[in-house]
A and B are shown apart, each in its own frame.
Chain A
């Protein structure tokens, strides 16, 4: 049963066995796992509940509706990084590109070596990954769903001898509408909204949308429930008070919101690690302009990823988005803008995900919301320049006549010979335009309670009956898209809770 804010007409008091805060990749997966085992579950979601019938290809409607802070979230630093996350039932899985990769083995080795997470091995994770992949239908794209741009990208990278892999995506019979970031209008992207949430609801879970949690309540070092508000979806103002008592509280609000909630509730921070160790996979993108008409938006985006440079901290893919969003990163305004955008069907956008080498932090502002701080370091800066140079090389190999760059000063390259300018033009860090959609580390897992916030199951070290299961528990940068790993780890935590019912649900 999904209850939206407008269906609640008075202050709310509820009781349940397990209360889950957040309905995204982690909250949805653990919610379904527990409720299907007969546990009485309530899921709370700050955003609204929408279905594919509400999804239209209009960013001016979808961004305020589905994105946190209408897509204006920023990670402060020099440069500041635009951060996008979902704020709706299904969380970011509703608006992401649907990339599904398992955590690379070398990363798990790091988790073992640096954080003592010796039990989290590929073998241990295998059944959880398999279960997730079945539920969200992880599969490669069909040839029919691909655009001409993907063909050109594949040809060029193959010609250059770079390793390119078919992307695994959570999709069923995707027809290549290219509208993933505004919510899939045909439910072919198998987000949490159309997979885990219905499963949990069928098993009897209750989900409150438009419900903002302000505090996790506790007694004698044990979480007891939450205090929150039903908010008006339009004004975001408080409508009614919410108090829910639970035997177990699970936080799954993402690596930026969760630390603010824990800090505000004065829980889980005896190690002083809550909000620290923030990682975010900064992204940079370029736009290739070709003589021929390509219509790169006509087909699924990110059907492939270049993994050649994964060990060097870079991953490349094509990204197909709406002209509104592409126009924002192009130089100028007025006549210059329209003249560039008239080349829309001749454009191809490519992006690089950069593996973090430094940490930022998330602090809680005095009035409650989080503020993320992150400063790109020299290694990331070098990686960004290199990624832009390598992506430009791919674009020119594919036949581009011009590449538009995400730099303040050097704004375009006109051929292979120009690529060296990326390194020789004295680009400063603050002059690179960056964005991201991933966040990790702020409530990291660690065997040593002095260096982490949760143990390997997501259980908060210094507060009983409290779990964190979102991306914040991932202790290192993954270098690949994290949604499948977040779902697998949350499922694993759910199984652990069920195997220890006497401890957690008594």
Chain B
């Protein structure tokens, strides 16, 4: 149940989420409720002027179909394929304001989607596993496990060769710096 979205705003955001939601045959997780919750949380955290401007922007998207798609049907009542076409028109618009507006709306929709556990798992973002592997308990203990063994080995060797320092050389002297050490 949305806490910060009016019924009208919620209807438009739901349509927007359905249109923008990344999915393909064989992968379409049920993330809609989560995405709506994230949009609701974001709207609640906006400053007062944005709380007015953001729903206004959504209304422009909703009723802009009349001007930008020559259709009397508002965005949220269009078919999915028509909505996709309409959104593409906003993204490819020559008017920067339209592009910026849809970028903001895309941000509200996609931030939730790619933070959804099933999606993170699908794209291979296994942060929990990474954290479990590298974490040390005590703040004063240096890291014992390398984030990437090959990288750690490379930088240790560079360090031994004196090629991995906080160089005091000025910019533009890079060549000299590397030549001196080779």
The answer to whether B60 has its CB under 8 Å from any CB of chain A is no
Top 3 A-B pairs, shortest CB-CB distance: A163-B174, A64-B45, A338-B22
**B100 close to A144 (CB less than 8 A):** no
Within 8 Å CB of A328, what residues of B? 103, 106-107, 110-111
Within 8 Å CB of B103, what residues of A? 328
The answer to whether A162 has its CB under 8 Å from any CB of chain B is yes
**B48 close to A236 (CB less than 8 A):** yes
Known: A64-B41, A143-B155, A146-B155. A188 touches B139 (CB 8 A): yes
CA distance A78 to B96 in the complex (A): 8
Chain A, residue nearest B54 (CB)? A72
**B147 close to A145 (CB less than 8 A):** yes
Residues of B within 8 A of A (CB-CB), count: 77
Indicate which residue in A59, A69, A144, A165 contacts B115 across the interface (CB closer than 8 Å): A59
The answer to whether A80 has its CB under 8 Å from any CB of chain B is yes
**A151 close to B148 (CB less than 8 A):** yes
Binds A, one of B6-14, B70-78, B157-165: B157-165
Within 8 Å CB of B172, what residues of A? 163, 308, 311
Minimum distance in angstroms from A152 CB to a CB of chain B: 9
Within 8 Å CB of B38, what residues of A? 60
Indicate which residue in B134, B145, B171 contacts A177 across the interface (CB closer than 8 Å): B134
Q: How many A-B residue pairs have CB under 8 A?
A: 217
Indicate which residue in A155, A324, A334, A344 contacts B124 across the interface (CB closer than 8 Å): A344
Within 8 Å CB of A69, what residues of B? 45-47, 50
Known: A69-B46, A334-B20. A174 touches B143 (CB 8 A): yes
Chain B, residue nearest A237 (CB)? B48
CA distance A327 to B120 in the complex (A): 12
Interface residues of B in 115-150 (CB under 8 A from A): 115, 120, 122-125, 127, 130-131, 134-136, 139-148, 150
- 8 CB contacts below 8 A, A to B, read A65-B45, A163-B172, A163-B173, A186-B135, A236-B47, A297-B130, A311-B170, A408-B99
**B166 close to A165 (CB less than 8 A):** yes
CA distance A57 to B124 in the complex (A): 15
Interface residues of B in 58-86 (CB under 8 A from A): 84
CA distance A164 to B158 in the complex (A): 13
**A342 close to B175 (CB less than 8 A):** no
Known: A60-B112, A148-B151, A338-B27. A72 touches B171 (CB 8 A): no
**A344 close to B123 (CB less than 8 A):** yes
Indicate which residue in A163, A173, A298 contacts B147 across the interface (CB closer than 8 Å): A298
**B110 close to A161 (CB less than 8 A):** no
**A172 close to B150 (CB less than 8 A):** no
Complex interface bits, A134-163 against B, C-beta within 8 A gives 1, otherwise 0? 000000101111111011001100100111
Within 8 Å CB of B155, what residues of A? 143, 146, 150-151, 154
**A161 close to B178 (CB less than 8 A):** yes
A58, A298, A299 interface centre (most CB from chain B within 10 Å): A298
Interface residues of B in 22-39 (CB under 8 A from A): 22-24, 27, 38
The answer to whether A337 has its CB under 8 Å from any CB of chain B is yes
**A430 close to B96 (CB less than 8 A):** yes
Minimum distance in angstroms from A404 CB to a CB of chain B: 15
**A334 close to B19 (CB less than 8 A):** yes
